Structure 1
């Protein structure tokens, strides 16, 4: 089986890259060990985050660092045994979270985020999946006036710098929009440009089916067999292509490392659980409990509770302590019914030390491309990344400057 391009990884990023390349007339084989959208893209919060111009930074306040060191925080946990291997990534992450560096990183990151909703809408329209996207925005809710007012100022700065639209909610307006939230909440920020998706896997699947309607092939295969210029073993035999794209999310570093690239990718894991909605308490908007570090959001399967970050090594066993810790707090925030899932789901987010994804040609191999490291925003940035990679591989002027995302910055 011969193709123009092999795309390794059928999450949101890989599916969108394969689709954009197929639209440009390439013969594309999309390869994964599972069906599309069944790893990290399956369990995210389902948000297309137009407001996410500042990637999530590493805390620098001494008090917060000491809290995290005790490994009892609700929003961040870690595996002690993983810390030696994650040390270089965390040090780089901490340095780049300095306010001046973080602001510079945001200027590059915003060039991608600014297109996330429009690129999703184009692809969803073509795939017949627009009905899966809801223009609800999402709400960041606050327990204290000090945190509320601080976030109001931050949102106003984002509006001036990057056109992020929001509504500042006092307590009355918050409870008008979303009744049944705890009366103790003092307000919120409603980011109005963000879209929510009630079934993230269904959206990835719709994009993958569109890719196949365009003539692309999806195959179950083993990315670890990548060799030569370029070959991969699949359930239907060996696939060969002139070029290859590595879009394997957290598993990308394993392939890149074998090929000689040292990228210092870190893993942030997250968990979710679904709860049966209460008949008299519908959840209309995704809501983040900003001071506790978890989010509840309406999904087709029920109300999904997603946790913060867990620092661990790739494929270590699940440790859903955060979920168990925040569930009773979430039940106080909003009336949740019984659990729906038999066990918590876990996903693994690929993160770089400078919070920017790796998008572009590999430096030591011809016709090899990288597209991973999107951290919390792989679902958000899939179509943007797909268009950017498609344009670069086609040799046309890219709609976004790819320089900040090049692999040789490491």
Structure 2
């Protein structure tokens, strides 16, 4: 490993989250020598803190609701779904305005069509890598459930599910009795649910990324600790300082999620990347209580997911600077609601986990070439779906970089859409 790092490789991939590890693996499997560089071990940042969903049914990107009452609750910070740091609002107002416009029905439909080729292959590509990594038995293929407390929101959910008919999704509509049969430890506060059958789930997303990283190293890849902020462009390529000395390559991939700006900004790229922060905390459960799959309380604004570490309660979106102090008010608001639907015991960790989701206002990631520099490639901005789209992103970018025919047209994800 040290010899390869000293003499360089074909590609350096920055970022050992699900996106970066997947890109590194796919490049390695196509004959490229690859050095994976991160300041931490694999799967310990954003990729650790998600709900464990490989979301094959999320064909409509997460846009801005059009309902005025919902927006008013958001604006007054009275919703568990969204929380604002008001001092941050002037800085992100242009981004929010574009996000609002992209969430109108026609642009949102175009975004859904552009994202569908990636979403459609999400589970399949994970299955391939999980089989190679020897962890396929960890994949649960029993979907996830969206639950509702009111008949009104439940009726809207049924109509919304029916409107997705053209995507060929599989789902069951569950009344209160059917929901109790599938998840016997949920309370009767919930009046009904939609059980999405196509998604898969895992109970240790950070562990899955570590398994993929181990596969990468076992197959001949090199994983080094280093700081992408110390990247240097040299004649014929790039170099970066690592814990064992400089690593060099003619090509680099920036897959740093919410930290991608530490590379692209100094290089002169203006990309409208914004972080949506989120929190989670694990709980013990009472007695023998369990959930068979993740469950979202749509009206309550939270998700419960059975994890290796305990029952994980996750929150919605917080608009706040990436590196500002945590403000886990959404957890405090939703914990009493979570206790209404499921028998939770004590919190396991003393402090909630906080992470940042890298998002772009048009709800598509950047996957492709850096237009102003030779040998520069990007893969970030997956808008809540990093875990879902890691392996399929890795495949697409590796096909682009090695000149293979791509399984789908990568044009919707190109950097040039932001006028570079």
Q: Please give the alpha-carbon distance, in whole angstroms, between the structure 1 residues aligned to 2:200 and 2:182.
A: 17
**TM-score when normalising by structure 1:** 0.98
1:139-218 residue pairs with structure 2 within 5 A? Answer: 139-158=145-164, 160-218=165-223
Residue of structure 1 equivalent to 2:259: 251
Q: Does structure 2 retain, via aligned residues, the 8 Å contact 1:294–1:305? A: yes
Q: Does structure 2 retain, via aligned residues, the 8 Å contact 1:88–1:264? A: no
1:61-119 per-residue CA deviation (whole Å, 9 max, x = no partner) reads 22222211111211100111111221111111110000111011100011110000000
**TM-score when normalising by structure 2:** 0.96
Q: Please give the alpha-carbon distance, in whole angstroms, between the structure 2 residues aligned to 1:33 and 1:72.
A: 37
Alignment match of 1:45 (pick from 48, 51, 56): 51
1:248-397 residue pairs with structure 2 within 5 A? Answer: 248-397=256-405
Q: Does structure 2 retain, via aligned residues, the 8 Å contact 1:96–1:353? A: yes
1:338-387 per-residue CA deviation (whole Å, 9 max, x = no partner) reads 11012100010000010000000011011100000002100000000000
SS of residue matched to 2:35: strand
Residue of structure 2 equivalent to 1:59: 65
Q: Please give the alpha-carbon distance, in whole angstroms, between the structure 2 residues aligned to 1:9 and 1:298.
A: 27
Instruction: Tell me the matched-pair count.
Output: 409
SS of residue matched to 1:258: coil
Q: Please give the alpha-carbon distance, in whole angstroms, between the structure 1 residues aligned to 2:386 and 2:15.
A: 12
1:190-224 per-residue CA deviation (whole Å, 9 max, x = no partner) reads 01111111111110000000001110000010010
RMSD: 0.9
Q: Please give the alpha-carbon distance, in whole angstroms, between the structure 2 residues aligned to 1:162 and 1:260.
A: 39
1:129-152 per-residue CA deviation (whole Å, 9 max, x = no partner) reads 102211120000011112112111
Matched, 1:91 2:97: yes
1:33-81 per-residue CA deviation (whole Å, 9 max, x = no partner) reads 1000000000100000000111101122222222111112111001111
Matched, 1:234 2:234: no
SS of residue matched to 2:230: strand
Q: Please give the alpha-carbon distance, in whole angstroms, between the structure 2 residues aligned to 1:241 and 1:215.
A: 16
SS of residue matched to 1:376: coil
Unpaired runs of 5+ residues, structure 1, are: none
Residue of structure 2 equivalent to 1:27: 33
Q: Please give the alpha-carbon distance, in whole angstroms, between the structure 1 residues aligned to 2:319 and 2:355.
A: 12
**Per-residue deviation at 1:264?**
1.0
